Structure 1
C-alpha cells in the first residue's frame, strides 16, 4: 500500500455541520490479523469528537454494525442523553435510529432468499447471520469470537430468511477476501446490494441502501445539505458515504479503492487519523 497522501485541504472557512464517523478502523483500532477491533477509544479521538459536538456539529455514527453493536460506542464517546439523543446509521444504512433510548426511525428490508441461496451454492459451508434486535443474531453456526455482538441463536438458514430482513452476513473462514470479491462480481446478485469486508465477509442489503442513503435521511431531518457533511471511513462499505459527503476522508490504512474515492486521506487509525482531520476545524 502506498503512503498516505493528505490530499487537498478543505476550502478555507468551511466547517462541517455534520460529522459522519465509521466505527471499526476509524474510531476503533483493528486487532491485528482479525476482523474485530479493540473496544476502546483513544483520548485524542474522544476529545476531538467532543470538541466538534460542543461547537455545534452533529455527530452521527455510521457503521455496518447492528444497532445493538453501536450503542456502546455512543456511550464511550458520551455523545447523547435522553434529552439530546444522537442519530445513528446502522447495518450499512438499512437501520436509522436515535439513542438513548433506542428508537428506530427507519428500517428497510428485502427478500434475501435468492442471494443467500446463490452464495451458499458456491460456499456451502459458510456461516450465515441475521440480526435479532435486542438480543444478538440468529446464526446457522457459531461465528468466531468477537465478530458479532450479543447472543448467537442457532437456527436453520431457510427459517432465518423466510421473512424480509434488513441485512444478512455471510462469512467463510476458509475463504479469502479476493474469493468473495470475485464471487460477488460473478453472481451479480440481482436485486441485492453487497459489500465485502476486510475478511471473507459479505453483507447483503436492499438495493440502493448504503451508509450514504441512511445519512441522507438524517441530514434531511436536520435540514443539512450533503455539502456541509464531513465523512470519515476506511472500508468498502464507506465508498458511497465518502462520495456523498461534501468532504469524504479515507483513513490512512484504507485500501486503494477507498483512498482513491475520497477527497483526502488522513493518518491511519493507529495514528488517530480521525482526530487529526477533525482538529482541522475544531483545534485543541
Structure 2
C-alpha cells in the first residue's frame, strides 16, 4: 500500500464516518454509544483550529446526524454552518438549522420487490424526515432513530425516495452480500458489517458524490480531502479522497480500498490519524 500524500500535506477537508468511526459499537447488539471520546473531540477541534472543514459523512438520515455535530461542538459559535453528507451521499445539508441543499431520489419499488421475493420476512424502512421512519414492521430496538410508523410496502416505496433500508434479522452478512451480487445491485447497495442490512440508493450516489458536491461549493477538490471510515459504504469515499483511511476494525474490503489503516475505534483511531496533520 503506497501512501499518496507527502509528509507536509495537510487536509483542507476532513470527512468522517460516524458509526464505528466516531462512535463505538456496543458489542453484539448492533447499537452504539452516543458519545464522543475526549481524544477524538479534541483532535477534531484542533483540525478546526487549523482551518480545516470537518464534514460528517454517514449512512444515517439527517435527523440522526445533528446530535453528533452537537456532541462535537460543531459548528462553533459565530462560525459558518456545517456541511453534512447524509443517507450515503443522497442528501447534503447545512446545520444549524437543518437545511437540505441537495437530494438525489429514485424509484425503489422494483429493487425492493426483488429483495423481498428472496427475503419475504425482511424489514423495510424509508425516512420520514423530522419524525423517524416509515416501516413495514418495527426494527429491533435502537437500530433506527426517531419514531417508527408502520406503513404498507406500497406506500413506503410508492414515490421516489433517497434511500431504502432493508434488514433481515434471520439472515447473515454473507447472505446479503451474495444477494446484492445475484440481483445486480452493484452501485446501489451496501451491507453494514455487523448484520444483514442493505441500503438501496440511486445509482452513482455514494458518500464520494455527496462530498464532491460539498467540495464544489467550498472551491476544493478530492485532492484536499482526508476521509476516514470503517464500513462498506465508505469504500467509494476512501478511494475518492486524496488520503482514505480505514479504521483498524474495518472489514477486509475497506482496508483494500484505503490508502492506510489507523487504530480501531476502541483505540481512538480518528484521533491517531488527525494527529499526523494537526498535532496532539
Structure 1 residue 66 corresponds to structure 2 residue 66: no
User: 2:46 matched to 1:51?
Assistant: yes
The corresponding residue for 2:34 is 39
Per-residue CA distance 1:213-269 (angstroms, 9 max, x = gap): 000000110001111100000000000000000000000000111001100000000
Kindly indicate whether the alpha-carbon contact (under 8 Å) linking 2:5 and 2:242 is maintained by their aligned counterparts in 1. no
Select the residue among 216, 223, 235 that pairs with 2:231: 235
**Structure 2 partner of 1:125:** 121
Deviation, 1:34, is 2.5
Q: Which residue does 1:75 correspond to in 2?
A: 70
2:252 aligns with 256
Q: Deviations over 1:164-222 (max 9, x none)?
A: 000000000000000000011001138x7111112100000000000000000001100
Q: Partner of 1:99 in structure 2?
A: 95
- 2:19 is aligned to 24
* 2:25 match: secondary structure: coil
Query: Offset of 1:83 from its aligned partner?
Result: 4.9
TM-score, length of structure 1 as denominator length: 0.95
| Match in the other structure for 1:150 | 146
Tell me what 1:223 maps to.
219
SS at match of 1:120: helix
Cα deviations by residue, 1:1-38 (Å, 9 ceiling, x for unpaired): xxxx9x74841210000000000000000110122211
Secondary structure, in 3 states, of the residue corresponding to 1:196? coil
- Unaligned 5+ segments in structure 2 are none
Cα distance in 1 for residues equivalent to 2:109 and 2:62: 23
Change (3 A) 1:224 1:9: closer
CA distance in 1, matches of 2:137, 2:230: 29
Gaps of 5+ in 1: none
| Coordinate RMSD, CA, aligned | 1.4
Give the paired residue count.
278
4+ residue stretches of structure 1 with deviation over 2 A?
7-10
Q: For residues 146-179 of structure 1, give each alpha carbon's deviation from its aligned partner in whole angstroms, at most 9, with x where no partner exists.
A: 1000010010011110000000000000000000
**TM-score of the superposed pair, with normalisation by structure 2:** 0.97
Helix, strand or coil: the match of 1:111?
coil
Q: Is the 8 A contact 1:82 1:100 kept in 2?
A: no
Please say if residues 112 and 164 of structure 1, whose CA atoms lie closer than 8 Å, have aligned partners that are also in contact.
yes
Instruction: Decide whether the 8 Å contact of 1:82 with 1:101 is kept in 2.
Output: no
- Residue 237 of structure 1 aligns to a residue in which SS? helix
